[in-house]
Chains A and B, each alone.
Chain A
Amino acid sequence: NAGVTQTPKFRILKIGQSMTLQCTQDMNHNYMYWYRQDPGMGLKLIYYSVGAGITDKGEVPNGYNVSRSTTEDFPLRLELAAPSQTSVYFCASRREETVYEQYFGPGTRLTVT
């Protein structure tokens, strides 16, 4: 199994541009999460999903959108990129019946200039 995969690994955006960060998991996990990691700040939850068709906001959702049309995919959309969105983005997933541990992808490093 590949686990949780994320693309791209790196991206540089200009202010005002848009992009989609892709996240796919092949473990048939119901729950999926998007985090951002800023230096010295730990991980902050952006959005999460408890299953296909169901999404909800986390701590820092402003400037982002998500969709969950399939169990496997959970893309994160940035509209009108801003320098404050420069960060490392991690996708994670977990099975509903396990004891809450999450499995993380390798991350996407995004720079907005």
Chain B
Amino acid sequence: AQSVTQPDIHITVSEGASLELRCNYSYGATPYLFWYVQSPGQGLQLLLKYFSGDTLVQGIKGFEAEFKRSQSSFNLRKPSVHWSDAAEYFCAVRTTGTASKLTFGTGTRLQVTL
């Protein structure tokens, strides 16, 4: 069965510092991968997605992610974090079968210090 692991429950970075959030997936074929962000009290918003092609994908809000098949990873990065990036971030993989459901990781909570 498909699954994703986000090994970091909580990360704190200083404003202006770079960020990398880790995501590892388990999937037999080429996965469809997503990163979502959840601001406090809000629903989830799609940051970016990977289906095929270029392994470095650009998303909204200055985020990017790199798909590495050899490491089964899809890490999210941002060169310079802003205080407004403080939120919870979820990695997800599309599951096979009907309805193409998503399986989510447990999330990483990002705190940004000024």
Contact = CB atoms under 8 A, between A and B. Distances in A.
B99 A31 contact: yes
B106 A100 contact: no
B25 interface: no
User: Chain A: interface residue count, which band?
Assistant: 20 to 34
Contacts, number: 57
Interface in A68-113: 90, 92, 99-107
Contact of A42 (B46, B90, B94): B90
27 contacts: A4-B43, A31-B99, A33-B99, A40-B107, A42-B90, A42-B104, A42-B106, A43-B104, A45-B102, A48-B99, A48-B101, A50-B99, A56-B99, A58-B101, A92-B44, A99-B32, A99-B51, A100-B32, A100-B34, A100-B100, A101-B34, A101-B49, A102-B46, A104-B43, A106-B41, A107-B41, A107-B42
Pairs A-B, 8 closest by C-beta atoms:
A104-B43, A42-B104, A104-B44, A42-B106, A43-B104, A106-B43, A100-B94, A100-B100
